[in-house]
Structures are given as C-alpha cells and as structure tokens.
Amino acid sequence: MKKLVKAIGIAAIVALLIPASACGASRGGSGESASGGDPSKVTIGISMPEQQLERWQIDGDNLKKQLESYGYKVTLQFADGKTDLQSSQIQNMANQGAKYVVIASIDGTATGAAAEQAAANGAKVIAYDRLIMNTDAVDYYATFSLTDVGKMQGEYIVDKLGVKEGKKGPFNVELMSGSPTDNNAKYYYEGAWSVLEPYFKSGVFKAKSGKVPGSVKDWQSIGIDNWDRQKGQAEMENRINSFYNDGTKLDAVLAPNDAIALGTVNAVEGAGWNYFPIITGQDAEKANVRAIVQGKQSMTVYKDTRKLAKATAAMIKDLVDGKTPKAAGKFNNGNKDVPSQLLTPVSVDKSNIKKELVDSGYISASDAGM
C-alpha cells in the first residue's frame, strides 16, 4: 500500500511539472504554442464577402500574400454575396482546424454564429474592415477610420458647392447610405451627416425627394442593399424621374461607395443631362478612377487595402508570436469593446489621383485612364 501511495505521489508531481504548452492550445493561448514554432503549422482562413466588387478580390489577394510571406498556411474563400455561403465557409474553416479566421462580413450580425463556432474550435477571430456584431467571439478588428470616410465625402460636397465662401443656394443634395446589414455604413453616414446636417437645417441644402433621415439612427432608411451598383442606379433613376425631370438642377449626391457612385453616374447619363452633379464615392476602384478623370464622378475616398492587409497580417503574427497586437482603438459590437486598429483614409479627386494612386503603385496610369 505504501508503494502504491508513493507511486501516485510521484505521478502527481510529474504531472505538475509538465508545461502547459504540452496540452491542447486554449483560446487564450498563442498560435506559437499550437504550432510548435513552425510557421507552416499555422493555419489561417480568410473569408471575403464577394469578388464582384473589385476591392474584395484585391483585399483577399493582398492579405493572403502577406500571411504566406510569414510561412503560414492560408485558405482564401469568397462568398459571392451570400450570407449562408459565407457562414458555411467559415464553419468549414473552423472544422478543418484553422487557428485564425479573418472575416470580412457580408452581414455583420448573421456572421456571428459562424464566428462563435470558429472560436469554440479554438480559433482567434479577426474582423476585417467590417465589424462582427453581437458576439463575444471576435477578438480583434482592423479597419479604416470609418467616420472620417463619411466626413471626407461630406466636406467635399460642402467645399465644392462653395457654401463656406458665402453661397446660399439652396442646393439640391440627395443622400444615400450603405447596406443596412453592414454596421460600417452607419459610421460612414454618421461622419457625412455631422458635416451636412447644419446646411440641411439652415435650408442651404435640401433634397427634393424628401429622403433626408431626421436622425443618424434612421440611416438605414436610405440604405442601398449590399452596396449594389444596380440597386443604387435604380434608386437614383427613380429620384431623377420623380423629382428632377422638370429641369430642376441636382447639385450633389452623397454616394457612399464607388459601386453606388457608378450607378449614379449611369442614371445621370441615362437622363441625358449635359452635366454631372457632384458625386462622392469610396474605394478607388479602377472604373471609378477613370470616371473621375473623365469628369463624371467627383471624388472617392481611397483606403489603401495593401496597408489594411499588412496591418491585419501583423496582428496575426503578433498573436502567433505570443504578443499583444497593436490595437489602440475600440469599437463596441453590442456585446463587447473590440480592440481595433484604425487606418487613415485619403480623399482623392482629379487633382491628386496621380500622386495618391498612380505614383504609389496602387493602380497604373492606363488603368486610371491617364
């Protein structure tokens, strides 16, 4: 009996001396302990919302290259704009053992359950550009300063209409916001409205359509589903036909992204007008940059996705190396304050396309139509 007790005691002591890293990696553990220091054992899944918008193809490719440069094993998938497909893809990544999952959500709320499954399987979840809502499963968030994007759009309209120089208008300004399922769209609109609201209140700006939300909380009432070009075009065609077919001048359109901006350009061309109103945008897609050079679209907000991919990849590398990622900001997703890294966007029009987009190598001069 004494020998048995002694053996049990020795076994207990040995068990206490075994390093925790010998056990299965916990959700709070670093990827390095899970990979044994071999980067090729670090498995990462990237879920992008679609390929129809040029920017997501660029984002996905840039991020995959950045992560592979560290030696990690990376799977990149696109969800074709379908929330069910994206959830399924994320769940498959989790089931196949991805230790890190990067998600650019189609619908920030609908993606939550899939993120939770990935987390339950031991993965770290990084929200890319769009925050995943109402869940504790998202660990980090990488994006651009969202309200700054909207402010840049609003400020461009104000500056080009000359109201700060004393022009009284009234100017007809039509407003649209992004997809009602994308939490980012709220912040973009909030930024734009913080600039535009005083001019609507004073009567310097008005919208003949009457589609001016009384509060930022109502931003979804002018949202364009899935940021879709055709839906944006249909909305603008309806407004033109209903309110501006009598010769009333449309002075400006707050188009929240380049797809909706291009739909607006198409609607104006279809109306046969001999002018283009001020039209904003976001993403610096090639077709839109050419439209700016041609004088059809006025501006776009350039978000260098190469920098966003680099920042996201650096977050993951820090996690793999057992470090705390750089994330000075925070965004609340309804459940928690998510540590966030916020990059700075740039307002681009015809005056600085060459400097910001061509000279930086983001697009070629021929792609810009220069």
Q: How many helices (H) and strands (E) does the chain have?
A: 12, 13
pTM across the whole model: 0.81
Under-70 pLDDT residues of the chain:
1-36
Residue indicated by tokens 């094993």: 73
| Two structure tokens written together for 346 | 């740039």
Is 171:211 a contact under the CB 8 Å cutoff?
A: no
**pLDDT score at 9:** 43
| Two structure tokens written together for 191 | 């930024």
Sequence ranges of the domains in the chain? 39-138+305-344, 146-302+348-368
| Two structure tokens written together for 265 | 């350009």
Task: Give tens-digit pLDDT for 4-61.
Answer: 333 434 343 333 333 333 333 334 444 444 455 788 899 999 999 998 888 899 899 9
**pLDDT score at 103:** 96
Is 111:103 a contact under the CB 8 Å cutoff?
A: yes
**pLDDT score at 55:** 83
| Long-range contacts of residues 23-29, Cβ cutoff 8 Å, at least 24 apart | 24/122, 25/99, 25/122, 26/122, 27/119, 27/122, 27/123, 27/124
What element of type H or E holds 347? strand 346-349
Q: Minimal CA–CA distance to 184: which of 135, 150, 161?
A: 150
**pLDDT score at 145:** 92
What element of type H or E holds 101? strand 100-103
Domains 39-138+305-344 and 146-302+348-368 fall in the same CATH topology = yes
- How are strands ordered across the β-sheet holding 140-144? 73-78, 43-48, 100-103, 124-128, 140-144, 337-343, 329-332
Domain spanning 39-138+305-344, CATH class? alpha beta
**pLDDT score at 248:** 96
Say what percent of the chain tops pLDDT 70.
Answer: 90
What backbone phi and psi angles, to 5 degrees, belong to 141? -140, 130
Is 345:152 a contact under the CB 8 Å cutoff?
A: yes
Q: What is the CATH number of domain 146-302+348-368?
A: 3.40.50.2300
Q: Minimal CA–CA distance to 152: which of 344, 325, 367?
A: 344
**pLDDT score at 34:** 46
**pLDDT score at 350:** 96
